[in-house]
Structure 1
Amino acid sequence: MAGDPSTPGIDDFTRPYWEAAAAGELLIRRCGACGRPHHYPREFCPHCWSEDVGWERASGRATLYTWSVVHRNDLPPFTGRVPYTAALVELAEGVRMMTEVVECEPDRLAVGTELTVAFRTGEDGVSVPVFRPAGPPQGQSSSRSHSPRSARR
């Protein structure tokens, strides 16, 4: 599960996150002490510093907070993906997440666009969460992405 520079390192702590992604599910962390969710995965709550945190399945729904279309990136494997839409989305659970918007032409995006999670599987076999507009695809194809398990039921 290593070797693709676009995939973060996977260790014993983050393994549940990546295994869930491979199964089409998005996980976040929630604090048992203060009840607040957070993302990216950490072993402690960034709000109250409690270590009483656990994994929770996220709904996969989000809204677009901001985005930027990347036209040049000389780092592999991004060179072959340009242009792509880097984005910050706000999950329905209230946390923000860096990601990519797929299956949508950038001129169709607006702050507040409703999105749903999909997963792109890289050459190394690791699935990473990306987001697409809620509803039918709207342009730009993403042949290596798949919908989450909850959307396939």
Structure 2
Amino acid sequence: MMESNKPIPIADGDSVAFWKGCNEGKLLIQHCQDCGSYIFYPRIVCPGCMSDHVEWIESKGKGKVYSYTVVRRSPLAFSDDVPYVVAMVELEEGVRMLSNIIHCSVDEVCCDMPVEVVFEKRGETALPMFQLAATLPTE
């Protein structure tokens, strides 16, 4: 099997816990114990109140597409994937994260579409991606 030449994120001091959670199938975000804000991307202090009393919590992993673009021309490492969707996903906790929408046609994606996290293994790292959320039938 051919080795992928796609880049893999490098965990640094602030993001080690996030990537460890991803590898365990958990989408972790931070929560400020002083002001109650949810925080993403990983930081050592709360951007709202500058408190260093931040903790890691597991997100519900559900949200909606806030904004997106369809990539039709990409760098060589991703050329086999085109077209693909890069989206800003707003989680139920209120934070936004950049990711891909997978397991659906690019034509199905729209703003406010409900999505849920799934993890895609790339080497030793699991990347958080999003797919159309499973919806329960209404009665």
TM-score (normalizing by structure 2): 0.87
Structure 2 contact 83–106 (Cα < 8 Å) conserved: no
- Secondary structure of 1:17's counterpart equals helix
Report the Cα distance in structure 2 between the residues aligned to 1:86 and 1:13, rounded to whole angstroms.
24
Matched, 1:47 2:48: yes
Percent identity, aligned pairs only, is 34
Instruction: Tell me which residue corresponds to 2:17.
Output: 16
- Secondary structure of 1:19's counterpart equals helix
Instruction: Tell me which residue corresponds to 2:118.
Output: 118
Instruction: Tell me which residue corresponds to 2:65.
Output: 64
Instruction: Tell me which residue corresponds to 1:34.
Output: 35
Matching residue's letter, 2:117: V
Report the Cα distance in structure 2 between the residues aligned to 1:25 and 1:97, rounded to whole angstroms.
15
Matched, 1:81 2:81: yes
Report the Cα distance in structure 1 between the residues aligned to 2:8 and 2:43, rounded to whole angstroms.
17
- Secondary structure of 1:120's counterpart equals strand
Deviation string 1:23-71 (CA, Å, 9 cap, x unpaired) is 1110001111111001111111111111111101000101111110101
Matching residue's letter, 1:38: I
Matching residue's letter, 1:23: E
TM-score (normalizing by structure 1): 0.79
RMSD over aligned CA atoms reads 1.8
Report the Cα distance in structure 2 between the residues aligned to 1:30 and 1:98, rounded to whole angstroms.
19
Give, in angstroms, the shift of residue 80 of structure 1: 2.4
Give, in angstroms, the shift of residue 22 of structure 1: 1.1
Report the Cα distance in structure 2 between the residues aligned to 1:39 and 1:6, rounded to whole angstroms.
21
Give, in angstroms, the shift of residue 7 of structure 1: 2.5
- Secondary structure of 1:130's counterpart equals strand
Deviation string 1:76-104 (CA, Å, 9 cap, x unpaired) is 2x222221100001001011111100011
Deviation string 1:98-144 (CA, Å, 9 cap, x unpaired) is 1100011122122111100001111x3201100000128xxxxxxxx
Instruction: Tell me which residue corresponds to 2:129.
Output: 130
Give, in angstroms, the shift of residue 75 of structure 1: 4.3
Matching residue's letter, 1:135: A
Runs of 4+ in 1 over 6 A off after TM superposition: none
104-113 vs 23-32, which deviates more?
104-113
Matching residue's letter, 1:125: E
